[in-house]
């Protein structure tokens, strides 16, 4: 993990307080004893929810080193702020920046649609003053009461749009949150939209390919940031224990540390020039971030032995957190498929 003298990592205000806060709450958030909203409000109070991209990368990387659930929620909040900043209509972003309102991103279908994998599932019909929405949101997080959700919709023909709605709007049905291996404090679930009416001012854009192209660098780089944060914490924990019989793992730790540092170097470099980075490089970095995090947490569990096998241990939590990364959209399968098309 980065230190104050680290030439790669960025600094942001109140960093030590942020790290300490999320470290203390990790176990409770993981178990669902509390949720991620207090953390979002804390960050909002300190003006940390709409930092520039390099600083947002640093923030999410730091939080993920302590609690992936919280880092994931911050990623979703930051992405909704990003979406609204690129909207052609007025938006309530001030409430999101302060943490008083929670943002939920349901944009994974947009990336699949633009990639040619699967069409957007939510259908939209034009009305005299807006759109009427019907269909499923198969998965989203931060689905708390009153949360603002951003999602793509499919109009007649090949038309697409990106819209916003609230979880408390008429016709929005959020399914009860299921028990998960991890993320139990993030209000993750599915949603059904049944004749949900939104006004014209809730339509962010009708240029889905252009919108995805604009938000994709931030989307993927901030996801890579939480992969890097988790990997870095596991490698730090493992590196102190490669003595005695565990000395046999020192070479693996070194190899993974080199791979992790490569991810971090590119992550912070790309964050300073995100609009200049080719799509395959963004996809490849995100994939490598997942791979390093999964391998690092598995190695930590191996080296820690029985102590890490305890359900309440930080090692066990990190192992479960890493299991989520390959299925987080874009999934490892989607990343590999998209990269194969560039070869």
Question: Could you report the per-residue pLDDT of 161-176, keeping only the tens digit for each?
Answer: 999 999 999 999 999 9
Nearest to 325 by CA among 285, 289, 281: 289
Domain residue ranges of the chain, discontinuous segments joined by +: 15-98, 103-207, 209-342
Domains 15-98 and 209-342 share a fold: no
For the chain, 343 residues long, give each residue's pLDDT as a single digit of tens. 444 445 566 689 999 999 999 999 999 999 889 999 999 999 999 999 999 999 999 999 999 999 999 999 999 999 999 999 998 776 678 999 999 999 999 999 999 999 999 999 999 999 999 999 999 999 999 999 999 999 999 998 889 999 999 999 999 999 999 999 999 999 999 999 999 999 999 999 999 999 999 999 999 999 999 999 999 999 999 999 989 999 999 999 999 999 999 999 999 999 999 999 999 999 999 999 999 999 999 999 999 998 888 888 999 999 999 999 999 999 999 999 999 999 7
Q: Over the stretch 108-133, which tens digit does the pLDDT of each residue have?
A: 999 999 999 999 999 999 999 999 99
Write the Ramachandran bin of 135: left for phi over 0, alpha for psi from -120 to 50, otherwise beta.
left
| CATH number among 1.10.260, 1.10.540, 3.40.50, 1.10.3210, domain 15-98 | 1.10.540
User: C-alpha angle 83/222/91, rounded to 5°?
Assistant: 15
Tell me which CATH homologous superfamily contains domain 209-342.
Answer: Butyryl-CoA Dehydrogenase, subunit A, domain 3 (1.20.140.10)
What backbone torsions phi and psi does residue 153 show, to the nearest 5 degrees? -135, 160
- What is the residue whose two structure tokens read 């300190």? 46
CATH number given to 103-207: 2.40.110.10
pLDDT at 10: 67
Cis, bond preceding 48 (omega within 30 deg of 0): no
pLDDT at 92: 72
Per-residue DSSP letters for 249-271? GHHHHHHHHHHHHHHHHHHHHHH
**Furthest-apart CA pair in the chain: how many Å?**
73
Tell me the pairing of strands 203-205 and 160-166.
antiparallel
């Amino acid at each position: 993990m980065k230190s104050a003298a680290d030439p790669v990592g960025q600094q942001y205000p109140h960093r030590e307080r942020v790290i300490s806060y999320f470290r203390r709450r990790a176990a409770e958030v993981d178990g669902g004893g509390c949720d991620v909203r207090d953390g979002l409000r804390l960050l909002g109070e300190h003006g940390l929810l709409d930092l520039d991209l390099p600083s947002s990368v640093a923030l999410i990387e730091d939080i993920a080193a302590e609690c992936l659930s919280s880092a994931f929620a911050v990623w979703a909040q930051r992405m909704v702020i990003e979406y609204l900043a690129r909207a052609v209509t007025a938006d309530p972003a001030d409430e999101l920046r302060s943490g008083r309102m929670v943002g939920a991103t349901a944009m994974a279908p947009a990336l699949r649609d633009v990639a040619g994998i699967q069409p957007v599932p939510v259908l939209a019909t034009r009305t005299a003053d807006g759109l009427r929405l019907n269909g499923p949101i198969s998965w989203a997080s931060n689905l708390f009461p009153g949360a603002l959700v951003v999602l793509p919709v499919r109009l007649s023909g090949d038309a697409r749009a990106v819209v916003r709605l609230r979880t408390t709007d008429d016709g929005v049905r959020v399914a009860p949150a299921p028990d998960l291996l991890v993320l139990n404090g993030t209000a993750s679930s599915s949603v059904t939209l049944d004749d949900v009416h939104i006004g014209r001012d809730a339509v962010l854009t009708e240029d889905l390919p252009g919108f995805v192209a604009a938000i994709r660098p931030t989307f993927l780089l901030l996801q890579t940031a939480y992969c890097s944060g988790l990997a870095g914490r596991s490698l730090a924990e493992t590196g102190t224990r490669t003595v005695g019989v565990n000395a046999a793992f020192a070479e693996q730790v070194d190899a993974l540390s080199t791979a992790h540092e490569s991810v971090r170097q590119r992550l912070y470099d790309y964050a300073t020039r995100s609009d200049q980075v080719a799509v395959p490089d963004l996809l490849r970095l995100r994939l490598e971030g997942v791979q390093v995090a999964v391998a690092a947490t598995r190695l930590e569990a191996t080296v820690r032995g029985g102590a890490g096998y305890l359900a309440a241990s930080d090692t066990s939590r990190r192992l479960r957190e890493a299991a989520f990364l390959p299925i987080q959209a874009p999934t490892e399968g989607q990343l590999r498929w998209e990269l194969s098309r560039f070869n």
